[in-house]
Structure formats: C-alpha cells, structure tokens
Chains A and B, each alone.
Chain A
Amino acid sequence: MTTVTTGTGFVLWLTGLEGGSAAGLVHTLEAGLRERGHRVEVLDFDEAREHLGQGLGYSRAERDTIAVRMGWVAGKLAEHGVAVLVPVVSSRQALDRVRDSIPTFVEILVEGAAEPGPATDVIVAADDGGTEVPARRVLVALELRGLTGPDGGDDGYSSAEEDAVAAHLRDLGYLE
C-alpha cells in the first residue's frame, strides 16, 4: 500500500515576469509559505536551462521546451508535498500544457513591475483564468482550496452568479 499524507504540495507558476523584477514577489511568496510550514522550492529558469536545456537556444519554441520540462519537475516535487514557485516567461500553449499535467497548479499572471517588497501592487489571475485578484490574496486563495490550511478568505460567486444560485435554490424550495 502507498501511504499518503494530506500535506498537499502545489505549483505557483508566475508568468509575465521579466528578469529580476520577479525577485521581490517570489521572495515574499516563498517567505509566506515557509512561515506556514511548507517545504518550498524555487525553480530558476537560468539554472534550469543549464540542467534541463542543454543544446537549446533562445527562440520561443526552445524557451517553451525548457518551461515544460520545468513544469514536469515542479509537478513531481508537488506530488511529494513541496510548494514550488516557478517564475518563468512562457507561451500560453506551454503554460496550458503544464497546467493540464499538474492538479495543484496555480497561475499567477503578474502585470506591471513587481518590485521587491510587499506583494500588494501586482495583479494576478486565479488559476481558472477568469478572475483577477491582488497578489496578497494568492495565499488566501490557496488556503480556500485546502492546500495550505483551514483559514480561508472570500472566493465566492460573483454577484450575478449569486443571483442565479439563489434563483435555482428558490426553484427547489431551499430559499424563499
């Protein structure tokens, strides 16, 4: 039998970052996760190129190949309970490929400069690709998903969706 514990790993895939501007956000997320008792690994693109991308150049296709390989490594680490941060610039196709292969995948789309410091000035996209939320809520969103603990936040339906939910429940007699 395989023994499994419920300390779940996951992958935070930070896209839209350019060069060193990622450092502050990654550092903040890394510190926050460590505070919550996670084992954390940050996969650096340049390091990955050295080990996973020998012979590959700098074209978009070649960068994507490295990104997908990083995704495979990140997924394996996450399976063993590690919180993996992957700041990388990749195409949407590469990102989708990685997303589909990792059940605990969270995309963080950083728009604008992410300077070192509190990660409150950047915008991220939740992993369903729909809702943009401030980065400070990334950890809260993870908690809601049961990945980092029970202290959740607000990740409810939109107001239009709430109306639809209420109407549906009224039809079934649960609400008046």
Chain B
Amino acid sequence: MRLLQRTRIATRPARPRVFVLGLDGTPCSYLRAETAAGRLPNLAALFREGGPVPMRSSLPSVSSTAWTTFCTGRDPGGHGVFGFTDLRPDSHDLFFPNSGDVAAPAIWDLLARTGRRSVALNIPGTYPARPVQGALVAGFVAPSIERAVHPPALLPRLRTLGYRIDLDTRAARESFEWLEEDLFATLDRRVAALRMLLTDVDWDLFVAVFTETDRLYHFLWNAMEAGEPRVVDLFHRFHHELDRLVGWLMNALPAGTHLVSLSDHGFAAERAAVYVNAWLRERGYLAFEVDRPVGLSTISPASTVFSLDPGRLYVNRAGRRPRGGVGPDQVPAVLERLLADLADLRDPSTGELAYTAAVVREDAYHGARAPLGPDVILTLKPGYDLKASVKAGQVFGQPEQGLGGMHADDDAYLYVGGAAMREGPHGLEDLAPTIADLLGVELDGLQGRSVLAASPAGTPA
C-alpha cells in the first residue's frame, strides 16, 4: 500500500523591516487636532491602534541637532552637533557643522555590519552624503546635489525626476504664491524619489523625511493660528497631500514592515525675538572690542559669557580660545551668578520668563563631545524665539518679517506601528534603539532606550 506523504510547507515569515516617515516640525498637538477633526483620514486610521504620543526634541531643538540625535541614538554630547552653527576650535569664528562633524556612527552604519541595508531620504544634517549600504540622499542644508547623493549612480535618476533638496526659501519667504507652488512641487518630487527608492533599492530600514512642513510652519504658523483663510486652506491642502502619501504607504509597504512616524520638534507662533547676547551685554557678561560688532570674533577677553543660537550659553573660558578670559577656578562663580540672573530674563510687557528652563551641561549632554557643548542651555518657551545676533541693541524685538513660526521643544510626536509602546517620556535618541528592536538587532553604545513595551512578538501583516 502506498502511503501518501503529506508535506507541510512552512511559510517563511516576511523579514522585519522598518519604514520611518519623518514630518519635520509637525506638532503632536496639531496632528491630534487635525485627525480628530476628520481632515486626515489615513493618519487617523493609522493612529487607531495607538498614538501619536508626544515626544521631546533634542537640546537645542534645531533640525540638524535633532535629526542627528535620531540617526545616532545619542544626545549631542555623544554625536557632537550642538546646532546649525558652532565655533571653530581655538577661535570665536562660526562654522557650519555637516555630516563630517558627526562623531558617532549612524544607525545605517551599524545595521550595515549585520548585513542590513538602509535608505535615507532627505534627513537634515547628512550632507555631504557618506557611503552607505543602500542609498542616501542628503537633506538640507545641502548646497550641491552632486555631493548629496550616494551611490553617485542615483544622481542622474534624481535629476530626471526633477528632484530638489529644498524650497527656494528666500522666494518663499517673500511671496505666498511662490511658497504655495514650491511646497507642492517639492513634495511631489520628493514623493517620486521615495517611490523610486522604495522599489529599486533593497532595504531593511527606510527613512524618508519631509521638511516642507517645517518651511510652511516657519513662514505661516502665526497666520494659520490667527485663522487667515487662505493660510488655513493651504495648511489643510498640504497636510491632505501628506495624508494621501500615508494612505499609499499603508498599501505599498512590503509585508512585515513596521511603519514608524515622528517629527523632530514641535512648532509655535512667535510673539517676540529675544536677543540673548544683548541681555548678556546689558548685564555686563559680554563686551566687544568694536562699537558695532557683527560677530563674536571681536569679543573682548573680559567677557565672561556669550550665546549661540538658540539659547546656548557658553562661559568664555581662558585657554580654550585666544579671547577667552575666565580661568578654571572662576567658572563655578560665573555660572552661579548667570543662573541667578537668568531669573530676570523676562518679557517687560508681561513679566513672563522668556524661556522654560535653564539646563546645565551635565544634565543635558552625555558622551565624549559633552565638554564642547554649552554650559547652560535655555529651553524654548512658545512665543519667545531665542536669538544670538550681536547686532541687536534691544533684548526684546519683533519677530522677523515673513517668519511667523518658531520651534517648540516638547511637542514632537511619535507613532510606532505593530508594537506596543512603554510609558514615556520618549526622546529622539530612543529611535535608533527602537528601530534596532523592531528589526531584531541589538546595537551597543547607544544612549537611548527602545520605546517598545516588549520586543515585537511577530511582524505586522
């Protein structure tokens, strides 16, 4: 008798993948309000299983620092990017940190060692593009697309798509019509690039960041909050396009993909510009050797404290820079006086403090680069944008023409699909460990902590 042998065919589970959708600057509170109002149906459907939850940004909450914190799983003390600007070693001259100044490997570098491939599209602070196992298209500030792309073979294909790294911010600031047209055109081409990379590159991790949101908010958040009809309409139409993208992604992503979405900071209406260096001059901390300084390079060695954007306060240490004047034994007294005086940095019209908290370096930064960070950092209070211009004579001024929005430190959002999240608070440095957790990889040397309540039991359908 012939026995029929039944063979059980075990279906191989889809390999876990992670797709991260970044919306630069989109506040958790705004996203919740818009989904609750029924204007973003795909995001609302996504969030039905949980989220979005609020997340704190980096200190400071500028995009280059925030996204580098996301990429490296370390705070600025670990990766070394403390802002869009920093001082050159041994001088008071400004320079602009770029990807070459990041002192920690990105998550895609670590994943490559496990044989995993990554795509990074438009992440701020990744210019010039470094080699990656997969593909990388750098985000702003990227002066040349030729140095923004790896592998180089991608460049002609992006050109064919009409890909652009950013809006023409100057024109957008001056003309509503230009901003409107540029926003949708840039988004359209970014989505086209996303579609191309999604199918043409084999990936385990795909990070796509949309920075058009940040641009819209910088220029028009005030007007949106004030209810200006054409601006409110633009906000609705633009976010509707993003919601359509989410709907498409929900169907297009391969089985086994965890969809993660986040912003790097929140946004708020700007009521006043606060010139911290003007306040330091008033209080006798800061002086210059010229009557009309244009930068810190003419700082007097008698100065004890200076500021960089936004709200970064540095003791002007002797020995670190030629014009530094504060000896090591004097530093504690300078800091003590500064922290006491900061209680007086208040809006004269309301008596309100112009920042939320003054955080000392030891509490803010951890890692080998921490000693290079500010001694004190002021966290942002919605409404008061902290500036470092040394040209301003007054401490409080009007917001700059054409700029109605400012970053908020604590209203970023986070959503993780297909896995339960532990209790917060959550921070951007927690994302790299979370991605590793979702992929089933353990990475050493990260400062953050996975936000998952437990390792995912399986992969999402």
Contact = CB atoms under 8 A, between A and B. Distances in A.
Contacts of B114: 2, 4
Interface stretch (A33-41, A59-67, A99-107): A99-107
Contacts of A31: none
Interface string B129-167: 111111000001101101100011100000000000010
A4 B444 contact: yes
Contact of B441 (A2, A161, A165): A2
A4 B101 contact: no
Given A3-B442, A99-B131, A146 B104 contact: yes
A127 B130 CA distance: 8
Nearest to A78: B113
Interface stretch (B92-100, B278-286, B414-422): B92-100
A86 B84 CA distance: 37
A91 interface: no
B391 interface: yes
Contact of A99 (B62, B105, B151): B151
B443 A128 contact: no
Contacts, number: 136
A171 B442 contact: no
Given A6-B445, A100-B153, A173-B218, A144 B100 contact: yes
B64 to A, nearest CB: 10
A134 B310 CA distance: 36
Interface residues of B, number: 60
A129 B309 CA distance: 33
A155 B131 contact: no
B385 A173 contact: yes
B393 interface: no
Contacts of A173: 218, 385, 400, 403
A121 interface: no
Contacts of A164: 141, 143
A131 B267 CA distance: 38
A169 interface: yes
B218 A172 contact: yes
A81 to B, nearest CB: 8
Interface in B85-125: 85, 95-98, 100-105, 108-110, 112-115
Interface in A69-117: 79-81, 96, 99-100, 102-105
A165 B143 contact: yes
A157 B96 contact: yes
A146 B130 CA distance: 11
Given A79-B112, A144-B100, A105 B131 contact: yes
Nearest to B106: A146
A57 interface: no
B211 to A, nearest CB: 10
Interface in B384-408: 385, 387, 389, 391, 400, 403
Contacts of B310: 174
B168 to A, nearest CB: 9
A2 B110 contact: no
Given A79-B113, A99-B151, A104-B109, A1 B442 contact: yes
B101 A155 contact: yes
B143 A175 contact: no
Contact of B109 (A8, A127, A144, A167): A8
A128 B147 contact: yes
Contacts of B169: 168, 171-172
Nearest to A9: B113
B286 to A, nearest CB: 16
A144 B441 contact: no
A86 to B, nearest CB: 15
A130 interface: yes
A18 interface: no
A96 to B, nearest CB: 8
A171 B173 contact: yes
Contacts of A171: 169-170, 172-173
Contact of B113 (A8, A127, A141): A8
Contacts of B95: 156, 162
B206 to A, nearest CB: 16
A148 to B, nearest CB: 11
Contact of A167 (B98, B146, B170, B444): B170
Contact of B105 (A1, A8, A79, A165): A8
Contacts of B153: 100
A150 interface: yes
A165 B166 CA distance: 12
Contact of B141 (A150, A155, A165): A165
Contact of A128 (B110, B129, B385, B389): B129
B151 A4 contact: no
A153 to B, nearest CB: 9
Q: Which of B101, B113, B389 has the most CB of A within 10 A?
A: B113
A13 to B, nearest CB: 11
B440 interface: yes
25 contacts: A3-B442, A4-B110, A6-B443, A8-B109, A79-B113, A80-B113, A99-B131, A99-B151, A102-B133, A104-B112, A105-B131, A128-B147, A146-B109, A147-B105, A152-B80, A152-B100, A156-B95, A160-B143, A161-B143, A161-B144, A162-B95, A172-B215, A173-B400, A175-B85, A176-B387
Closest 7 CB pairs of A and B: A155-B100, A171-B169, A6-B445, A164-B143, A103-B133, A161-B143, A103-B112
